[in-house]
Structure 1
Amino acid sequence: MATLQLDLAERSYPIYIDSHLLTSGDLLSQHIRGKRVCIVTNDVVAALYLEQLQLQLTDFDVDVIILPDGEAQKSLANFERIMSHLLANTHGRDSTLIALGGGVIGDITGFAAACYQRGIDFIQIPTTLLSQVDSSVGGKTAVNHPLGKNMIGAFYQPKAVIIDINSLSSLPAREFAAGMAEVIKYGILGDAAFFDWLEQNQEQIKSADKDTLIAMIERCCQCKADIVSADETEAGIRALLNLGHTFGHAIEAEMGYGNWLHGEAVATGMVLAAKLAVQLNLLEVSELRRIEDLLSSFNLPLSAPESMGFDSFIKHMRRDKKNVAGKLRLIVPHAIGQAVMHDDISEDMLQQIL
């Protein structure tokens, strides 16, 4: 088992990565301080893994919230549903929420934990590749609003992240590919050697070789843990993790949450950021081609929806959380392994690539 530590003083926590962790009750129970547990999951994941998880919690008083599947469910309405369930079932400050699912479940459960009685414990058990390498680590919790993705939320850290790679065996190919966009992102933004490794190990990844997947997920989690430990609330370096996201969030909001998967939108966003960098003579065309080739090898989209022009993008990008004093701030790759935040890119420059 790979075990990492995200260091945040008293808010530090472990990240476990292996197979069969969903059936490791001792590992889970050591991070639950009270006797009350509420599992939040969705209908798809519940059918696959809820019973396994409940069997590890027979020493606890457990109840369950099952939401519908999909990005559209990361809403204020479902946040209120979780709050109402916790209140109706008299959960207290010693209760623990367990997020069993992908990024939607992890984000909304974490936000509920941050808010209920001003903060209760929660544990992340991510079941998608995207959530295992990105959203479950780092304490970003949120729900979406029709005018913007993740605009309502909090920085709130879990007590542990338990990653069972066996859950990837039930993941649809499209969802696995979407997760690979976030994996590739780590190579582009700050780890050229990892990008090389991904190019060299494409076939092992696609065939779901256990050791390859564990090594890949561990590398991503370590990268994110290092960045979050240095900048928990995104005041500086953590913003680099948003490579491709300013464009990507615009696509998701414009097209309707869930119609484009988050990873698909991020993949396209990274290509757009790289094309912008080429246009500004910050990135070699050969580097852009490598980025496109690796994304394309996992069947990820490289172009924005045909229906989206500059006006469609910019109305959403103006609401981006990184913006300061009304000025756009974009993460731009200068090379594979080096991304830089820019606040000197005008809307006219963007219009040329959009």
Structure 2
Amino acid sequence: MISAQQRQVRVDLGTRSYDILIGPDLLATAGTRIAERLPKARAAIVTDENVAAAHAATLSASLEQAGIEAATITVAPGEKSKNFATLERVVDEVIAAKLERGDVVVALGGGVVGDLAGFVSGIVRRGMKFVQMPTSLLAQVDSSVGGKTGINTQRGKNLVGVFQQPSLVLADTTVLDTLPEREFRAGYAEVAKYGLIDRPDFFAWLEANWRDVFAGGDARTHAIAESCRAKAEVVARDEFEKGDRALLNLGHTFGHAFEAATQYDGSRLVHGEGVAIGMALAHRFSSRLNLCSMDDALRVEAHLRAVGLPISPLEIPGELPGAERMLDFIAQDKKVSRGALTFILTKGIGQSFVARDVPPSEVLSFLQTTLHAEAA
């Protein structure tokens, strides 16, 4: 049952289609919803220490009430849990719990937990069932939808992983009230991204209503649902990122490079902040290439700045490598194909496109100008 306060978005992938439910208090009814879709399944809840303290008891009680036996596996919070050592430990604990292929791995947490738990579900027993219960705004509008999972290596972000579609996504908007303000702002960068890709009316709505989104209530639910709907449409067209889905990487090529340059230190830069800086730079770079107007770039920067997001590398604490090293990080990013640089550029607000074979010399020159201006 969907209440008046909730939204439902369908990800249409034929026999692997699934629903995203968005709204308040979904955590308390999760057991019933999972049991309806995966009868007789047992579960492994993968979560981090912070989320476990706030929400694991509610989820465990809901699963128990629905007759679902569950083991809880806890990892350290933060991006550094997306590594081989943590992956090995979680896989071992799932196997030790004697869970089978028809059982389910439930990701209760933000993007890190979702990426890690999804990867685990894709490789244990050659594929278990998977349910996403994202507890951060960023995860609710981005990483929990579409089936991309993975871990980081020393050479870059998300370089090892699998496509593993969930059976269900439950986005409880109430849990966002417990998020630190910085984390909510970082997630909002991904919301704004959908407007900048191909929904200019949604971006204009966000410019007018972002304070209500931050405050909660129906505006927040609407923004999350619209973001999920935008991503679901792209995923349905291009599940394995061979075409249109690359548009979802707007801001990510620059952003991932800065994350790698800070060694994924969340005290310096979290993912959504990297995306915000990346989107600002993508619009500046597009303007430099005479693809969009500087007015559009300034409009993007003004909105990101208004909500409290960074728009410049200067705002990243500590020293950054020079332009040549930053280009190396970009070249290592997974948006590179056979050595050619691929960027998501734009012709204006809501007019993003995939630009292949971007000359590295142009990117280097832009980085040199940008980082020199920042240093000055």
Q: TM-score, normalised by structure 2?
A: 0.92
Q: CA deviation at 1:352?
A: 2.4
RMSD: 1.1
Q: Is the 8 A contact 1:113 1:119 kept in 2?
A: yes
Query: Pick from 235, 243, 251: which aligns with 2:250?
Result: 243
2:9 corresponds to = 4
Q: CA deviation at 1:239?
A: 0.2
1:168 aligns with 2:181: no
Q: CA deviation at 1:274?
A: 0.8
Q: Is the 8 A contact 1:17 1:162 kept in 2?
A: yes
Where structure 2 has 5 or more consecutive residues not aligned to the other structure, the ranges are 1-5, 368-376
Query: Pick from 13, 16, 20: which aligns with 2:18?
Result: 13
Q: CA deviation at 1:4?
A: 1.1
2:59 corresponds to = 53
2:237 corresponds to = 230
Task: Tell me the distance in 1 between the aligned counterparts of 2:210 and 2:233.
Answer: 25
Q: Which amino acid aligns with 1:248?
A: G
Task: Tell me the distance in 2 between the aligned counterparts of 1:206 and 1:228.
Answer: 27
1:302 corresponds to = 311
1:345 corresponds to = 358
1:275 aligns with 2:280: no
For residues 99-137 of structure 1, give each alpha carbon's deviation from its aligned partner in whole angstroms, at most 9, with x where no partner exists.
000000000000000000110001000000000000000
Task: Tell me the distance in 2 between the aligned counterparts of 1:212 and 1:206.
Answer: 9
Where structure 1 has 5 or more consecutive residues not aligned to the other structure, the ranges are none
Q: Is the 8 A contact 1:33 1:94 kept in 2?
A: no
Q: Is the 8 A contact 1:40 1:66 kept in 2?
A: yes
Query: Pick from 185, 191, 212: which aligns with 1:204?
Result: 212
- More displaced stretch, 113-122 vs 254-263: 254-263
Between the two proteins, what is the percent identity of the paired residues? 41
2:296 corresponds to = 287
Task: Tell me the distance in 2 between the aligned counterparts of 1:324 and 1:35.
Answer: 40
1:27 corresponds to = 33
Give structure 1 regions of 4+ aligned residues with deviation exceeding 3 angstroms.
Answer: none
Q: CA deviation at 1:320?
A: 2.0
Q: CA deviation at 1:149?
A: 0.2
Q: CA deviation at 1:189?
A: 0.8
| Mapping for residues 314-325 of structure 1, pairs under 5 Å | 314-325=327-338
Q: CA deviation at 1:68?
A: 0.8
Query: Pick from 131, 155, 170: which aligns with 2:139?
Result: 131
1:116 aligns with 2:129: no
2:63 is paired with a residue whose SS is coil
Q: Is the 8 A contact 2:196 2:352 kept in 1?
A: yes
Task: Tell me the distance in 1 between the aligned counterparts of 2:198 and 2:325.
Answer: 30
2:150 corresponds to = 142
Task: Tell me the distance in 2 between the aligned counterparts of 1:242 and 1:138.
Answer: 13
Task: Tell me the distance in 2 between the aligned counterparts of 1:267 and 1:157.
Answer: 27
Q: Which amino acid aligns with 1:15?
A: I
Q: Which amino acid aligns with 2:232?
A: A
Task: Tell me the distance in 2 between the aligned counterparts of 1:207 and 1:218.
Answer: 16
Q: Which amino acid aligns with 1:236?
A: G
Q: Which amino acid aligns with 1:278?
A: S
Q: CA deviation at 1:51?
A: 0.4
Q: Is the 8 A contact 1:323 1:329 kept in 2?
A: yes
Q: TM-score, normalised by structure 1?
A: 0.97
Q: Is the 8 A contact 1:272 1:353 kept in 2?
A: no
For residues 134-186 of structure 1, give each alpha carbon's deviation from its aligned partner in whole angstroms, at most 9, with x where no partner exists.
00000000011111100000111000000100011000000000001101111
Task: Tell me the distance in 2 between the aligned counterparts of 1:67 and 1:307.
Answer: 29
Q: CA deviation at 1:285?
A: 0.9
Q: Is the 8 A contact 2:214 2:220 kept in 1?
A: no
1:252 aligns with 2:259: yes
Q: Is the 8 A contact 1:143 1:149 kept in 2?
A: yes
1:88 aligns with 2:96: yes
Q: Is the 8 A contact 1:34 1:96 kept in 2?
A: no
- More displaced stretch, 297-306 vs 8-17: 297-306
Q: CA deviation at 1:317?
A: 1.1
- More displaced stretch, 298-307 vs 273-282: 298-307
2:182 is paired with a residue whose SS is helix
1:300 is paired with a residue whose SS is coil
Q: CA deviation at 1:31?
A: 2.6
1:273 is paired with a residue whose SS is helix
**What is the number of residues matched between the two proteins?**
353
Task: Tell me the distance in 1 between the aligned counterparts of 2:281 and 2:325.
Answer: 15
